Chains A and B, each alone.
Chain A
Amino acid sequence: MALNKKIAAAGLAAAMAVLPLAGCGSNDKNANAGKSSDASPSASASASAAPSASASASGDATGAKLTGDFEIQYFVGGYGDKWWKKVIADFKAANPDLNVIEDGGPKINDQNKPRWIGGNPPDFVYIDGAGLNDRQMVEDGQLEDLTEWFKTAKNVDGTLISDILTQPPQQYDGKVYNIPLVLNSWGIFWDKALFKEKGWTEPTDYASFIDTADKIKAAGVTPFIHTGKYAYYIQDAFLYPAIVSANNDDYSILQDMANSKVDAFKSPAVMEALNKIVEMRDKGFIDKASIQINHTDSQMLFLQHKDAFIPNGLWLPNEMGKDVPSGFDFGFIPSVTQKAGGKVVANTSTATVAIAKKAKNKEAAQAFMSFIFSEAQASQWAELSGAPSNIKGDISSSSAPNFVKDAAKFLNDPNTVVVPTITFNADVEKVMWDSTDALSIGKITPDEWVKRVTDAAAKVGK
C-alpha cells in the first residue's frame, strides 16, 4: 500500500495540471498538458507502478470472451491522452479477440457529433471538454441507464465499484447514467505567506472568514475577487457550499436544484446562502473589478496580492504556472461558509464516462468500465494524466505543496461533506449565473434572484 500512497500523492501533486472547464481555451489545456509531466515531482516514484498495473490487467479473464468491434470516444484536453493509450493497450491485451477502435483528440466531441445525431454513436464515451454536456445527453436519451448495473458492478479485482469511488455518480431522477473518473474540488484559495506576514488568521468557517476579511480590508487590500464573466466560479466555490451548509450539510438540495425542482430554490437555505453574498457585497469585500473580468484576469490580480481570497478549483496553481510569484504559498479550503465547528463542504468537479444507449457492444463497454475503475488503472491515471482519479486513496505522506496536502486532508476527512458533481440544466444555470452577477453588483435582491431562477426552473420543468 505504501507504493499506492505514493502514487496517489503523485497524482495530487500534479493536480496542478487539472485545467479544464469551459472558461479555459483548449490551447491552454494542451499547453499545460505537456507541462504536467515535469510538474509532478514524484512521477518517477510512481513509474514503477506500471508493471503491477498491467499485471493485474492481464489477470482479468473473467466471464465470456469479448468479441467484435468496440469503439471508444475520448476527448484529449488538459489531462492528455497517455492514460487512454495505455489503458486501451492493456484492455486490448486482456481481450485479444476484441477489435478496439479509438476515437481520440481535442476536437473529437465535434467530429463525432454527426454520429450521435445520426444514431450511430461510439460505444463508450468520456464526457469532458466543450461540446458535451452529460445532463443534455441524458435528456436527449443518448446514454445507457447504468442504475442496475452500477448496484452490483465489480471491477476486475472483484471489488464493488461503488465502494471504491471517492464520490458517487450524479443521479438524474434517481437514475445513474455516467460514472465520475476524475476528481477535483472547488474551494477558496489564499496566500499563506502573505497571511503569515500580515498576521491574518486563515479562515476555517464563515465567522473567521468574515473576521479575517475585515482585517484585510482595514489593511487596504480587497478581500475577495472572482470572475463575473464566468459566474460559476463563485457559485461552485462559495454559493453551493453555503447552500449545503445552511441545509444542515444535506447536499440533496443541490441535486433537487439540478433536477429543476422549483421548491428547492425557494428553500430558506438558498436565501441564507444568497445573503452571505449580499453581506460580502455590502461590506465591500468583493473587488469591484470582478464583474467584468475573466478568470485569468481575476487570478492575476489575486497573484499580485491585490486581493486576498479567490474562489477557484485545484487546477489553479498549475493553470497560472510561471505567473505564480516566488514565495507564493497557496492555502486552500473547500468552503468558508460553514458555521463555527461545522463540517467543511467540498463541491467537486469531475469528468465522467458513460455508455451510449445505442452502443453496439454494450458488453465490451461494461467490461471496459470494470477494467478502468480498478486501483491499478486509477493509479496509472494519476501518474499519466497528472490529476487525481475518483478512486479512494490515502494521500497523507508526500512532498506535495501545501494546498495539495490541505485538499487531500479535507477530501479524506470524515467531517467533510463531499458533494458529488452536479450538472444543472443549462437554461436554469445560465439564469443563475446572470442573477448571481446581478446580485453581486447590487442590481437585484436575493428575493429577485429566487424569483428569476424559480421562473426559469418552472419553465424547464413543464
Chain B
Amino acid sequence: MKTSGTAKWQRSMFIASFTLPTLIFFCTFTIYPVIKALYYSFFDWSGMSDHMDFIGLQNFKDMLHDPIVWQALGNDYFLVAGKIVGIMLLATFFAVALTRFGFKLSGFFRSIYFIPNVISVVVIGVLWNFIYNPQIGFLNAFLSLFTKEPVTITWLGFTSHTIWMLLPPSIWAGIGFYMILLVAAIQNVPDSLYEAADLEGANQWHQFCHITLPLVWEQMKVSIINIMMTTLNGSFVIVWIMTEGGPDNTTQVMGSYLYQMAFRQYHFGFGAAIGMLIMISSLITTVVMQRLLHRETVEMS
C-alpha cells in the first residue's frame, strides 16, 4: 500500500510539473489582463493621470449610445462574413485544384499562393494603398486602359461603405494559409475512395461533394472559426495601416476604435470597455458558429 501511495503521489507530481507552469502562464498573461481590463472599464481614466473616477457601467452605457461603436461592430461582422466566404471559396478551390487534378506545376503554385502569408500585414496594407492610390495607383491605371478619360476613383475615399475596399486585401492575405490547411486534409483522404468513385462513374463534382467535402469538414470548420476569431481580434492592423478608420469612420472596426479612444482621445476606460465588447462578441460568435457548423463526424477507414 505504501509503495502504491508514493507512486500515485509521484504521478500527480509528474502531471503537476507539466500543467502548473502552463496554468501560471495562462493566468498571468490571459486571465489577469482580462480581469484588469474589466476593472478599468468601470472607470473614467485618461490613461495618463494618477487619478481614476469610478463610474460603474457608464462606459458601457455610453457605448450603446455611440453610433461609431455600432458602425465598428457592423464593419467587423461584415469583414468576418466577407472573409469567410471569400477565403473559404478560393482556398477550397485552390486546394482541390492543386491536389485532385495533379498537374505538374502544383508545387510551384502552392508556394506562390502561400507568399502573401509570409508577408507582414503591414506590408500588405502599404502595398494595397499603392494599388488603390487614385493618382499613381495600379487599379486606376489599369481601368484607364479601357476608358477615354483617365479613371480617378478614390478607392479608399467613398462617403460610405469604404469598408468593402478592405475586403480584397484581407482575403488575398488569408487564402494561402487556409489553402495549405485544406491541401493537407485532402491529401489525407485515402485514394481508394476516389478510385472506387471513378469506377462507379462519379464525376469530379460528385467526388468533391460526396467524398472530399465530408472528409475535410473538420478542417473547414476550424478554418472558418479561425477566420472569424482572427478577424474580430486582428483586423485592427490592416485598418490602421490603410485608413486609420477613415474617412469619417466608414472603415472603423472595434480594434481601431479601441486604439483611437484609448490612446488618441485619452479615454482608457472606454477603450477597455470596447475591449470587453470584442471579447464577448467573439466568444458568443464562436459558440454560435460551433453549433451552426456541427455535422455528423464521418470516419475515414
Contact = CB atoms under 8 A, between A and B. Distances in A.
Interface of A: 113, 116-119, 133, 136-137, 139-142, 228-229, 287-289, 291-293, 297, 301, 306, 358, 426-427, 430, 434-435, 437-438, 441-443
Contacts of B49: 116-117, 140-142
A441 B50 contact: no
Contacts of B159: 438, 441-443
A407 B170 CA distance: 45
Nearest to A228: B247
A197 B249 CA distance: 42
Interface in B222-266: 243-244, 246-249, 260, 264-266
A39 B133 CA distance: 32
B46 interface: yes
Interface string B132-144: 1111100000000
B48 interface: yes
B135 A119 contact: no
Nearest to A459: B62
11 contacts: A117-B50, A140-B46, A140-B50, A229-B244, A288-B152, A289-B133, A289-B134, A292-B132, A292-B133, A427-B267, A441-B154
Nearest to B52: A117
B60 interface: no
Contacts of A293: 133-134
Nearest to A452: B248
Contacts of A113: 48
B260 A437 contact: no
B157 interface: yes
Given A229-B243, A292-B134, A139 B156 contact: no
A287 B155 CA distance: 14
Given A140-B49, A292-B156, 8 more contacts: A117-B50, A139-B46, A140-B48, A140-B51, A426-B264, A430-B264, A437-B246, A443-B159
B247 A438 contact: yes
A108 to B, nearest CB: 14
Interface string B147-159: 0000010111101
A437 B248 contact: yes
Contacts of B133: 289, 292-293, 297
A288 B50 contact: no
A314 to B, nearest CB: 25
Contacts of A442: 159
B45 to A, nearest CB: 9
B154 A434 contact: no
B126 to A, nearest CB: 10
Contacts of B246: 228-229, 434, 437
Contacts of B266: 133, 136, 426
B264 A434 contact: no
B244 to A, nearest CB: 6
B46 A228 contact: no
A297 B130 CA distance: 10
Given A292-B154, A430-B264, A442-B159, A116 B247 contact: no
Contacts of A136: 46, 48, 266
Kindly name the residue among B46, B132, B136, B247 whose own CB sees the greatest number of chain A CB atoms within 10 A. Answer: B247
A427 B249 CA distance: 14
Q: Give the 7 A-B residue pairs with the shortest CB-CB distance, closest first.
A: A140-B49, A291-B157, A292-B156, A292-B157, A119-B50, A443-B159, A289-B134
Contact of B135 (A118, A137, A228, A306): A306
Contacts of A289: 133-135, 152, 154, 157
Contacts of A358: 50
Contact of A288 (B46, B154, B248): B154
A438 B247 CA distance: 7
A434 B249 contact: yes
B48 A137 contact: yes
Nearest to A444: B248
A434 B265 contact: no
B265 A116 contact: no
A113 B268 CA distance: 14
B1 to A, nearest CB: 56
B30 to A, nearest CB: 22
Nearest to A136: B266
A239 B266 CA distance: 25
Contacts of B260: 430
Nearest to B252: A434
Given A133-B266, A137-B48, A140-B46, A292 B247 contact: yes
A437 B264 CA distance: 18
Contacts of A435: 248
A142 B133 CA distance: 43
Nearest to A437: B247
Contacts of B247: 228, 291-292, 434, 437-438, 441
A236 B265 CA distance: 19
Contacts of A291: 154, 156-157, 247
Nearest to A300: B136
B48 A438 contact: no
A116 B50 contact: yes
Nearest to A289: B134
Contacts of A443: 159-160, 248
A139 B44 CA distance: 13
Interface in B251-296: 260, 264-267
Contacts of A301: 135-136
A426 B265 contact: yes
Contacts of A139: 46
Contact of B155 (A119, A141, A292, A437): A292
B171 to A, nearest CB: 20
A301 B134 CA distance: 11
A116 B45 CA distance: 13
Kindly name the residue among B50, B160, B265, B266 whose own CB sees the greatest number of chain A CB atoms within 10 A. Answer: B50
B47 to A, nearest CB: 8
A397 B39 CA distance: 61
A308 B136 CA distance: 17
B120 to A, nearest CB: 16
A101 to B, nearest CB: 20
A301 B152 CA distance: 14
B132 to A, nearest CB: 7
A454 B199 CA distance: 75
A442 B247 CA distance: 12
Contacts of B135: 287, 289, 301, 306
A219 B158 CA distance: 27
Contacts of B48: 113, 116-117, 133, 136-137, 140, 142
